[in-house]
Amino acid sequence: MAVAAGEYEIGPETGRLLVRVFRRGVAAKVGHDLLIEATRWEGRVSVPADPATPPTVTVRADLGALEVLEGTGGVKPLSEGDKRQIRQNADKVLRTDHYPRADFTSTAVEPHDSGATVEGDLTLAGQTHPLRLEIQQRDESTLTGSASVVQSRWGIKPYSGFFGALKLRDAVDVEFTVTLPTS
Protein backbone atom coordinates (compact mmCIF):
# COMPACT_ATOMS: atom_id res chain seq x y z
CA MET A 1 0.00 0.00 0.00
CA ALA A 2 1.42 3.37 -1.00
CA VAL A 3 -0.34 6.38 0.49
CA ALA A 4 1.67 9.61 0.55
CA ALA A 5 2.84 10.83 3.94
CA GLY A 6 0.51 13.38 5.50
CA GLU A 7 -2.48 14.08 7.69
CA TYR A 8 -5.83 13.37 6.04
CA GLU A 9 -9.18 14.48 7.44
CA ILE A 10 -11.96 12.12 6.39
CA GLY A 11 -15.75 12.23 6.66
CA PRO A 12 -18.89 12.30 4.52
CA GLU A 13 -17.30 14.84 2.17
CA THR A 14 -14.48 12.38 1.34
CA GLY A 15 -16.25 9.04 1.52
CA ARG A 16 -19.03 6.81 2.72
CA LEU A 17 -19.48 4.68 5.83
CA LEU A 18 -22.06 1.94 5.31
CA VAL A 19 -23.56 -0.82 7.45
CA ARG A 20 -25.17 -3.94 6.00
CA VAL A 21 -27.64 -5.76 8.23
CA PHE A 22 -29.03 -9.18 7.35
CA ARG A 23 -32.21 -10.95 8.46
CA ARG A 24 -32.68 -14.52 9.67
CA GLY A 25 -35.29 -16.62 11.43
CA VAL A 26 -38.44 -18.41 10.34
CA ALA A 27 -40.06 -15.13 9.28
CA ALA A 28 -36.99 -13.83 7.40
CA LYS A 29 -39.04 -13.65 4.17
CA VAL A 30 -41.11 -10.86 5.73
CA GLY A 31 -38.16 -8.66 6.70
CA HIS A 32 -35.50 -6.86 4.70
CA ASP A 33 -31.74 -6.96 4.46
CA LEU A 34 -30.75 -3.36 5.11
CA LEU A 35 -28.20 -0.91 3.78
CA ILE A 36 -27.63 1.89 6.30
CA GLU A 37 -25.35 4.91 5.96
CA ALA A 38 -23.67 6.87 8.73
CA THR A 39 -24.31 10.43 7.56
CA ARG A 40 -22.29 12.20 10.30
CA TRP A 41 -18.80 10.91 10.93
CA GLU A 42 -15.27 12.19 11.02
CA GLY A 43 -11.80 10.77 11.15
CA ARG A 44 -8.13 11.20 10.55
CA VAL A 45 -5.58 9.12 8.70
CA SER A 46 -2.01 9.95 9.65
CA VAL A 47 0.78 8.58 7.45
CA PRO A 48 4.22 9.48 8.87
CA ALA A 49 7.10 10.32 6.53
CA ASP A 50 9.27 7.78 8.38
CA PRO A 51 8.28 4.34 7.02
CA ALA A 52 9.33 2.76 10.33
CA THR A 53 6.50 4.63 12.08
CA PRO A 54 3.13 3.01 11.43
CA PRO A 55 0.16 4.98 10.11
CA THR A 56 -2.76 5.67 12.45
CA VAL A 57 -6.49 5.83 11.84
CA THR A 58 -9.24 7.29 14.03
CA VAL A 59 -12.94 7.48 13.20
CA ARG A 60 -15.94 8.73 15.18
CA ALA A 61 -19.51 8.13 13.95
CA ASP A 62 -22.70 9.73 15.26
CA LEU A 63 -25.10 6.80 15.76
CA GLY A 64 -28.05 9.19 15.88
CA ALA A 65 -27.41 10.03 12.22
CA LEU A 66 -27.87 6.63 10.62
CA GLU A 67 -29.99 6.68 7.46
CA VAL A 68 -31.70 3.61 6.04
CA LEU A 69 -30.89 3.73 2.32
CA GLU A 70 -32.57 0.54 1.16
CA GLY A 71 -34.13 -2.72 2.15
CA THR A 72 -33.92 -5.74 -0.12
CA GLY A 73 -36.04 -8.85 0.04
CA GLY A 74 -39.20 -8.90 2.07
CA VAL A 75 -42.76 -9.37 0.91
CA LYS A 76 -43.28 -5.69 0.19
CA PRO A 77 -41.03 -2.73 -0.60
CA LEU A 78 -39.59 -0.75 2.31
CA SER A 79 -41.72 2.38 2.91
CA GLU A 80 -40.66 5.69 4.46
CA GLY A 81 -42.67 4.68 7.55
CA ASP A 82 -40.71 1.40 7.69
CA LYS A 83 -37.46 3.36 7.50
CA ARG A 84 -38.54 5.59 10.41
CA GLN A 85 -39.48 2.52 12.46
CA ILE A 86 -36.12 0.90 11.69
CA ARG A 87 -34.34 4.10 12.86
CA GLN A 88 -36.32 4.03 16.12
CA ASN A 89 -35.51 0.35 16.62
CA ALA A 90 -31.82 1.03 15.91
CA ASP A 91 -31.76 3.84 18.49
CA LYS A 92 -33.30 1.47 21.04
CA VAL A 93 -31.03 -1.49 20.25
CA LEU A 94 -27.86 0.66 20.16
CA ARG A 95 -29.00 2.69 23.22
CA THR A 96 -28.03 5.92 21.46
CA ASP A 97 -29.52 7.96 24.30
CA HIS A 98 -26.63 6.71 26.48
CA TYR A 99 -24.03 5.88 23.83
CA PRO A 100 -24.46 8.29 20.91
CA ARG A 101 -21.16 7.50 19.16
CA ALA A 102 -19.02 4.70 17.85
CA ASP A 103 -15.27 5.34 18.02
CA PHE A 104 -12.45 3.44 16.32
CA THR A 105 -8.75 3.95 17.05
CA SER A 106 -6.06 1.93 15.32
CA THR A 107 -3.45 0.11 17.37
CA ALA A 108 -1.46 -1.48 14.51
CA VAL A 109 -1.33 -1.19 10.73
CA GLU A 110 0.20 -3.95 8.62
CA PRO A 111 0.58 -2.81 5.00
CA HIS A 112 0.58 -5.40 2.22
CA ASP A 113 0.75 -5.18 -1.58
CA SER A 114 -2.83 -4.15 -2.27
CA GLY A 115 -3.81 -2.55 1.02
CA ALA A 116 -3.44 -3.07 4.75
CA THR A 117 -4.81 -4.86 7.77
CA VAL A 118 -5.67 -2.38 10.51
CA GLU A 119 -6.06 -3.63 14.06
CA GLY A 120 -7.76 -1.31 16.50
CA ASP A 121 -10.26 -0.74 19.27
CA LEU A 122 -13.93 -0.08 18.60
CA THR A 123 -15.98 1.55 21.34
CA LEU A 124 -19.67 0.85 20.84
CA ALA A 125 -22.56 0.79 23.33
CA GLY A 126 -20.18 1.66 26.16
CA GLN A 127 -17.81 -1.25 25.55
CA THR A 128 -14.42 -1.35 23.85
CA HIS A 129 -13.16 -4.44 22.03
CA PRO A 130 -10.61 -5.17 19.29
CA LEU A 131 -11.70 -4.93 15.66
CA ARG A 132 -9.82 -5.77 12.46
CA LEU A 133 -10.32 -3.76 9.26
CA GLU A 134 -9.24 -5.06 5.88
CA ILE A 135 -8.34 -2.16 3.59
CA GLN A 136 -7.74 -2.25 -0.15
CA GLN A 137 -6.15 0.55 -2.17
CA ARG A 138 -8.29 0.96 -5.28
CA ASP A 139 -6.13 3.66 -6.86
CA GLU A 140 -3.62 6.34 -5.81
CA SER A 141 -6.07 8.08 -3.47
CA THR A 142 -9.06 5.76 -2.90
CA LEU A 143 -9.23 3.27 -0.06
CA THR A 144 -12.02 0.76 0.52
CA GLY A 145 -12.43 -1.46 3.50
CA SER A 146 -14.62 -3.66 5.59
CA ALA A 147 -15.04 -5.24 8.97
CA SER A 148 -17.52 -7.58 10.61
CA VAL A 149 -18.98 -6.33 13.90
CA VAL A 150 -20.61 -9.02 16.05
CA GLN A 151 -23.13 -6.98 18.02
CA SER A 152 -23.36 -9.29 21.05
CA ARG A 153 -19.64 -8.86 21.65
CA TRP A 154 -20.40 -5.21 22.51
CA GLY A 155 -23.41 -6.16 24.66
CA ILE A 156 -25.92 -5.35 21.90
CA LYS A 157 -28.86 -7.70 21.51
CA PRO A 158 -29.73 -7.82 17.79
CA TYR A 159 -33.26 -6.72 16.91
CA SER A 160 -35.99 -9.34 16.77
CA GLY A 161 -39.67 -8.98 15.96
CA PHE A 162 -42.78 -11.04 15.42
CA PHE A 163 -42.21 -12.77 18.79
CA GLY A 164 -38.68 -13.75 17.78
CA ALA A 165 -39.63 -15.22 14.39
CA LEU A 166 -37.80 -12.39 12.56
CA LYS A 167 -34.29 -11.66 13.76
CA LEU A 168 -31.31 -9.76 12.53
CA ARG A 169 -28.02 -11.59 12.19
CA ASP A 170 -25.64 -10.88 15.08
CA ALA A 171 -22.79 -9.94 12.71
CA VAL A 172 -23.22 -6.74 10.68
CA ASP A 173 -20.87 -5.74 7.89
CA VAL A 174 -19.27 -2.30 7.98
CA GLU A 175 -17.92 -1.00 4.66
CA PHE A 176 -16.26 2.24 3.75
CA THR A 177 -14.79 4.09 0.81
CA VAL A 178 -12.54 7.10 1.35
CA THR A 179 -10.81 9.30 -1.19
CA LEU A 180 -7.73 11.01 0.23
CA PRO A 181 -6.62 14.34 -1.25
CA THR A 182 -3.74 14.09 -3.72
CA SER A 183 -1.03 16.64 -4.13
How far is Cα 160 from Cα 120, in angstroms, rounded to an integer?
29
The structure's pTM equals 0.90
How far is Cα 27 from Cα 56, in angstroms, rounded to an integer?
43
In a domain, 111, yes or no: yes
Q: Which of 149, 68, 136, 55 shows the shortest CA–CA distance to 102? A: 149
The total number of structural domains in the chain stands at: 1
How far is Cα 49 from Cα 160, in angstroms, rounded to an integer?
48
What's the confidence (pLDDT) of residue 37?
98
In terms of residue numbers, what domain contains 94?
6-179
Handedness of CA 110, 142, 169, 84 (dihedral sign): positive
What's the confidence (pLDDT) of residue 70?
93
In a domain, 54, yes or no: yes
Return the CATH number at 86. 2.40.128.110
How far is Cα 172 from Cα 174, in angstroms, rounded to an integer?
7
What's the confidence (pLDDT) of residue 161?
67
Contact criterion met (CB below 8 Å) for 156 and 90: no
What's the confidence (pLDDT) of residue 26?
60
In a domain, 1, yes or no: no
Q: What is the pLDDT along the chain (183 residues), one digit of tens a residue?
A: 578 889 999 999 999 999 999 887 665 666 788 999 999 999 999 999 998 898 999 999 999 999 999 998 878 888 999 899 989 999 999 999 999 999 999 999 998 888 899 999 999 999 999 999 999 999 888 999 999 999 999 999 987 766 555 678 899 999 999 998 775
